[in-house]
Structure 1
Amino acid sequence: MLDALSLGAGLSWASGLRLYLTVLLVGVFARLDIIHLPGSLSALASPWVIGAAAILAVVEFFADRIPAFDSLWDAIHTFIRIPAGALLAAGALGHADPTLMTIAALAGGTLAGSAHLTKAGTRALINLSPEPLSNWIASSTEDLLVCIGLALAVFAPLVFLALMIAFVVFAGWALPRLWRGVQGGFRAMAAHMGARFGGSRLTSFGSKRD
């Protein structure tokens, strides 16, 4: 049960950051018999699923590194990562009691949502800066975190679950601040753009009158 809980938490958390990379890694590891998946997740080891996940992971690799477009990508994937995290968390329990699987799905969706919203909020703040290198650094860090997190979830479940508890506490503290930071950044940007274009129109109007 501890292994199943750790696997479910790992899959749902990683899905909130990199869904396609998560499916690809788990499918390949299962295919190589490095990890054992319950029957309810055996489809992840299918060559078709692995191939599709590989293509989408490559697309996401580049999409996530384009400033501003990465926020659009995150917005679209709000409706994909969170439900996927819930399904993977429930599937990690195998054919358990339906009530337990429902609880696992709710917890998995919450964990995936926390990871996704933390990522999306952080990237939105980064996109307020014109410096493009920060997007590559943030994306590469997320890729690395997914790989390390999945490895811990499979091979060191107690350590991973302890880290997940710390992450949930951190996300509860950080998300309201990220939201306020993003709102403040966009207000400042809107005010700057309004002053810039408003000043240009006034200058143009004055020139015409002269």
Structure 2
Amino acid sequence: MSVLPLVFTSGWASGINAYAVVLLFGVFGATGLTDEVPEALQRTDVLVVAGVLFLCEAVADKIPYVDSVWDAVHTVVRPVSGAVVGALLAGQSGSLPELAAGAVGGSTALLSHAVKAGTRMAVNSSPEPFSNVALSLAEDLGVAGIVTFALFHPVAAAVVAGTLLVLGLVILVFLARRIRRFLRRRAQRREERRLVGAAARARDRPPSGDGSEHF
């Protein structure tokens, strides 16, 4: 059977939480629950690094504004991870060219990352922090559930992932106004910090001239 549905689903999940995908695949492969996982993802060093980074993301992803900074840093990491995992899965299966699998996994990860990052920007425009925690937990559980489901029912999982991706893109369009508001607030804060810093430097600067007082 073609590995394409599994590649697509892993790409979608990588755009949400790339470290969770690597960790889950590695654990399932190392424990013998499935033979679909490449040996490269089962290595102990890969599992340890993925586990540590997953814990870091689990914390950062639940803190308002920190999550958006984390997302910005991972704009490249998540698509690359999706592409690498897709290529590895294709190499393991042999039913799909690795380059094509990498393109599918990477592009799908990029789209789901855009949905995740944009949604977080919109959520961060609200004053309370609880929505961040709830959304982050839902994403973590969703990734874990769909990746597990995909290993045993890849086609059905791909349909679910595709549906969630389309719904996410539609919601992102409706949230565009809140995202623009978030970006304006962040720009205003940067400008305020710049003005405060400039005022502090001006206040600390020694007076020029000959020191005579003018009335």
Into which bin does the TM-score normalised by the smaller protein fall? Answer: 0.7 to 0.9
Structure 1 residue 84 displacement after superposition: 1.0
Q: Equivalent residue for 2:200?
A: none
- C-alpha separation in 2, matches of 1:153 and 1:97: 17
Matched, 1:19 2:18: yes
Structure 1 residue 188 displacement after superposition: 7.3
Matched, 1:37 2:31: no
Structure 1 residue 36 displacement after superposition: 1.3
Alignment deviations for residues 57-93 of structure 1 (CA, whole Å, 9 cap, x no partner): 1111111111101000000000100111011112211
Structure 1 residue 10 displacement after superposition: 2.4
TM-score scaled to structure 1, two decimals?
Answer: 0.80
Root-mean-square deviation (Å)? 2.5
Matched, 1:47 2:44: yes
Matched, 1:109 2:90: no
Per residue, is there more helix in 1 or in 2? 1
TM-score scaled to structure 2, two decimals?
Answer: 0.79
Gaps of 5+ in 1: 195-210
The alignment partner of 2:62 has SS state of: coil
Q: Equivalent residue for 2:7?
A: 8
- C-alpha separation in 1, matches of 2:158 and 2:9: 9
Report if the CA contact (8 A) 2:6-2:155 is conserved: no
**Rg larger in 1 or in 2?**
2
Could you say if the C-alpha distance between residues 138 and 157 of structure 1 is closer, same or farther in structure 2, counting changes exceeding 3 Å?
same
Gaps of 5+ in 2: 192-215
Percent identity of equivalent pairs: 36
Q: Equivalent residue for 2:59?
A: 62
Instruction: Pick the aligned partner of 2:125 from 100, 121, 128.
Output: 128
Could you say if the C-alpha distance between residues 47 and 174 of structure 1 is closer, same or farther in structure 2, counting changes exceeding 3 Å?
same
Q: Equivalent residue for 2:76?
A: 79
The alignment partner of 1:37 has SS state of: coil
Aligned length: 190
- C-alpha separation in 2, matches of 1:53 and 1:22: 9
Report if the CA contact (8 A) 1:5-1:92 is conserved: no
Alignment deviations for residues 107-149 of structure 1 (CA, whole Å, 9 cap, x no partner): 1111101111101111111111110111110110000000111
